Amino acid sequence: MKLGVVGLLPEWHAIDRAAAQAVRAAGFLGAAIIIGQPLDADPADLRRVKTALDEAGLEAAQTNGWYEVLVHPDEATRAQGIAGAQALVRIGRVLNAHNVYIRPGSINPHGPWFAHPDNHTPQTFDRLVDSLRQVAATAQAEGLPLALEGHVLSPLDTPERVRAVLDAVGSPALQFNLDAVNFIGSVAAVHDTRPTIERLFELLGPDIAAVHIKDCALEDDLVLHIHEVMLGAGTLDQGLILQRLQAVRPDVYVLIEHLPDDRIPEARAVYWQVAQAAGVPLQA
């Protein structure tokens, strides 16, 4: 597996050789390239960033960016989301990215990862499938996999739901972005993360295009609060994930994410130790 990071880089248009070399020197083979507005990205700027990455020996492990919600009930807004995701795929091809990150979005107007009862309706499912078919057609034409992520609050709230969407879209370009923390939704699941991890691999293992690395723990409070925490400070069985990955997708990127830049070196050291204890080699 290849070790990458979401972070450490400036805004994408400010990435130069020195910035890319700093990430490489920090012990990462690749990084996520975040494109704020894919539809407005200047092709010349993208080619310049690609040159800077190449000169530093840093890969575009994943492209990510903002686009309108793919499940939005307003058809004009959803069409903008599809166009934005398609633009991100084309950017991924320019950067020779390993995959393109895709989020399903939410009906909640406050954010694409927030809960809403309509996230789980048949109508939302159908809109998501239709949007992903269009984006996947572009990805297939460009020869890039899509890495679709889920979350307990999103329309893709269970491994079964993700599997159903992949099957309904029916494109080899549509794959899965494994983020096991996103599927931990109960007290029992936090205390023992292995059943959730095993179910994710049972249903989606061969379809994994990339992995996001973080950890989770319960907060002491009178209602359920599951928080993301520093790698090693939570309950997620990172070694099990690595061992299962080694068996089915040993070639993918695992990317440390959701940490401030000054905590990333510590997280990398912890993860390296986890990989050694699990007997799984990492490329960095």
Give the whole-angstrom CA distance, residue 252 versus residue 207. Answer: 11
Domain extent for 247 = 2-278
The DSSP output letter for 158 is S
Q: In terms of C-beta density within 10 A (0-12 exposed, 13-18 middle, 19 or more buried), how is residue 163 classed?
A: middle
Is position 88 within any domain? yes
pLDDT confidence band for 221 (50 / 70 / 90): confident
Q: Is the pLDDT of residue 99 over 90?
A: yes
222: CATH? 3.20.20.150
| Residue 171, burial from CB neighbour count under 10 angstroms (0-12, 13-18, 19+) | middle
Per-residue confidence at 59, pLDDT binned at 50, 70, 90?
very high
- Do the Cβ atoms of 52 and 16 come closer than 8 Å? yes
Q: Is residue 273 part of a domain?
A: yes
Q: How many C-beta atoms lie closer than 10 Å to residue 261's C-beta?
A: 11
Find the mean pLDDT for residues 94-119: 97
Region of residue 84 (left: phi > 0; alpha: psi -120 to 50; beta: else): alpha
pLDDT digits (tens, 9 = 90+) for 9-33: 999 999 999 999 999 999 999 999 9
Whether residue 178 lies inside any domain: the answer is yes
Q: What number of other Cβ atoms are within 10 A of residue 281's Cβ?
A: 12
What is the value of pTM for the model shown?
0.95
What's the pLDDT at 223? 85
Q: Is residue 283 part of a domain?
A: no
How many whole angstroms separate alpha carbon 206 and alpha carbon 208? 6
Confidence (pLDDT) at 111: 94
Q: Is residue 50 part of a domain?
A: yes
Percent of the chain topping pLDDT 90: 98
The answer to whether residue 284 is domain-embedded is no
Domain count, the chain: 1
Residue 67 lies in a domain: yes
Q: Classify residue 169: in a domain, yes or no.
A: yes
Which positions ≥6 away from 56 have C-beta within 8 Å?
17, 20, 21, 23, 24
